[in-house]
C-alpha cells in the first residue's frame, strides 16, 4: 500500500482510533505536566539563590539541596508527587498509541506484538521513573539522605533506559513506514514526529552519560567550575529526559484536529435547503 492507495483491503484490520477526551488527557499529561515540572525546577533554584546569595555564589545549589533548605521545597515536593502520577498516566496513553497502531497494521502477528510490546515499554519504564520522583519529593535530603539518593538513582537510570526503549520503538515504527511505503501517519503515529523523537532520545541519552560523568568527577576533582557545570547540566538533563514524552504532543494534536474536523463536518448542512 502506498500514499496513493488508501483503500481498505479485506485483510486490513480496522483503523487505529483514539477518543478526543483521551487524546486531550494525553496531551495534558505529557506536555503541560513536564513543562510544569521544569517551571518548579527553575523556581526552586532561583528562590534558593535569592534566599542564600552568598552560599549560592560559593556553591551553586542542586535541585535536591534547594528542596531541602527552602520552605518552598515542601510545596514543590507535593507538586512533583502529583506530577509523577500524571506522567505515568500520560505514558500509559502514549503506549496505547503504539498498541492500537500495531493492531491496525496489516502485518504478521509476531511483528504486531513486537511493536505493541515496545510501545508498552514506554509505560512500564515510566513506573520506576515516577516512583523515584515521588521518593525524591517525599524524602528530601533533610529527612532521609539515603532514601532520597535511592529515588534519585531510580529516576535517572530508569529515565535513561526509557530513552533506549524510545529509540527501539521509533526504529520499529520507521521500519514499518518504509515497508508500507508511506510518509503519512502510520496508524496513530506520525513518521516525522518519530524521527524527531529518535534524535531527541539519542541526545538525552548522551546528556545523561555526560551528567553521570560530571557526578563522579565532582567528587574526584575539587573544582568550582566543574561543580557549576554539573549543577547547570542537571536542569538540562531533566528537561531532555522528558522531551520524548512531550514530543508525542504532535500525535495528540493531530488526533484532536481530526476529531474537530469530523465534528465540524457532521454539523455542516448536507444541502442548502437543510441550512435554511
Instruction: List, for residues 176-197, the tens digit of each pLDDT value.
Output: 877 766 656 678 898 889 999 9
Q: What is the mean pLDDT of residues 161-173?
A: 93
Q: What angle do CA 230, 233, 234 make, to 5 degrees?
A: 90
Is the pLDDT at 43 greater than 80, yes or no? yes
* Residues facing 189 on adjacent strands: 186
What is the structure's pLDDT at 229?
92
Query: What pLDDT does residue 9 have?
Result: 42
Lookup result for grid cell 483521551: 22
Cα separation, 18 vs 29, in Å, equals 16
DSSP string, the chain: --TT--PPPTTPPPPP---HHHHHHHHIIIIIHHHHHHHHHHHHHHHHHHH-HHHHHHSPPPHHHHHHHSTHHHHHHHHHHHHHHHHHHHHHHHHHHHHHHHHHS---HHHHHHHHHHHHHHHHHHHHHHHHHHHHHHS-TTT-HHHHHHHHHHHHHHHHHHHHHHHHHHHHHHHHHHHHT-SS-BTTB-HHHHHHHHHHHHHHHHHHHHHHHHHHHHHHS--HHHHHHHHHHHHHHHHHHTHHHHTTHHHHHHHHHHHHHHHHHHHS-SSTTTT-
44 phi and psi angles, rounded to 5 deg: -65, -40
Q: So what's the pLDDT on residue 13?
A: 67
pLDDT interval class at 223 (50, 70, 90): confident
- What contacts 179, CB < 8 A, 6 or more positions away? none
Burial-class residue 218 by CB neighbours within 10 Å (0-12, 13-18, 19+).
middle
99: which 3 cell numbers?
A: 498498541
> What is the per-residue pLDDT across 262-271, written as a single tens digit (0 to 9) for each?
766 666 655 4
Question: What's the predicted TM-score (pTM) here?
Answer: 0.86
The label of the residue with cell 526509557 reads: 162
Residues 6+ apart with CB under 8 A from 177: 183, 186, 191, 194
Q: What is the pLDDT of residue 5?
A: 42
Amino acid at each position: 500500500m502506498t500514499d496513493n492507495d488508501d483503500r481498505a483491503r479485506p485483510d486490513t484490520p480496522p483503523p487505529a482510533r483514539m477518543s478526543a477526551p483521551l487524546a486531550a488527557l494525553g496531551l495534558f499529561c505529557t506536555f503541560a505536566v513536564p513543562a510544569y515540572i521544569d517551571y518548579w525546577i527553575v523556581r526552586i533554584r532561583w528562590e534558593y539563590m535569592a534566599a542564600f546569595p552568598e552560599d549560592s555564589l560559593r556553591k551553586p545549589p542542586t535541585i535536591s539541596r534547594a528542596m531541602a533548605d527552602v520552605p518552598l521545597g515542601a510545596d514543590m515536593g507535593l507538586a512533583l508527587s502529583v506530577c509523577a502520577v500524571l506522567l505515568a498516566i500520560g505514558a500509559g496513553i502514549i503506549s496505547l498509541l503504539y498498541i492500537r497502531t500495531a493492531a491496525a497494521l496489516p502485518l504478521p502477528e509476531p511483528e504486531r506484538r513486537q511493536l505493541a510490546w515496545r510501545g508498552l515499554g514506554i509505560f512500564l519504564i515510566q513506573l520506576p521513573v515516577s516512583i523515584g520522583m515521588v521518593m525524591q519529593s517525599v524524602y528530601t535530603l533533610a529527612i532521609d539522605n539515603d532514601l532520597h539518593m535511592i529515588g534519585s538513582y531510580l529516576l535517572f537510570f530508569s529515565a535513561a533506559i526509557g530513552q533506549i526503549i524510545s529509540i527501539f520503538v521509533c526504529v520499529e515504527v520507521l521500519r514499518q513506514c518504509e515497508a508500507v511505503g508511506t510518509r503519512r501517519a502510520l496508524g496513530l503515529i506520525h513518521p516525522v514526529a518519530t524521527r524527531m523523537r529518535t534524535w531527541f532520545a539519542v541526545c538525552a541519552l548522551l546528556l545523561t552519560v555526560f551528567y553521570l560523568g560530571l557526578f563522579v568527577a565532582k567528587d574526584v576533582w575539587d573544582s568550582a567550575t566543574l561543580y557549576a557545570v554539573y549543577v547547570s547540566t542537571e536542569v538540562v538533563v531533566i528537561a531532555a529526559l522528558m522531551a520524548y514524552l512531550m514530543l508525542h504532543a504532535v500525535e495528540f494534536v493531530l488526533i484532536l484536529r481530526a476529531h474537530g474536523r469530523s465534528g465540524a463536518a457532521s454539523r455542516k448542512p448536507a444541502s442548502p435547503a437543510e441550512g435554511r
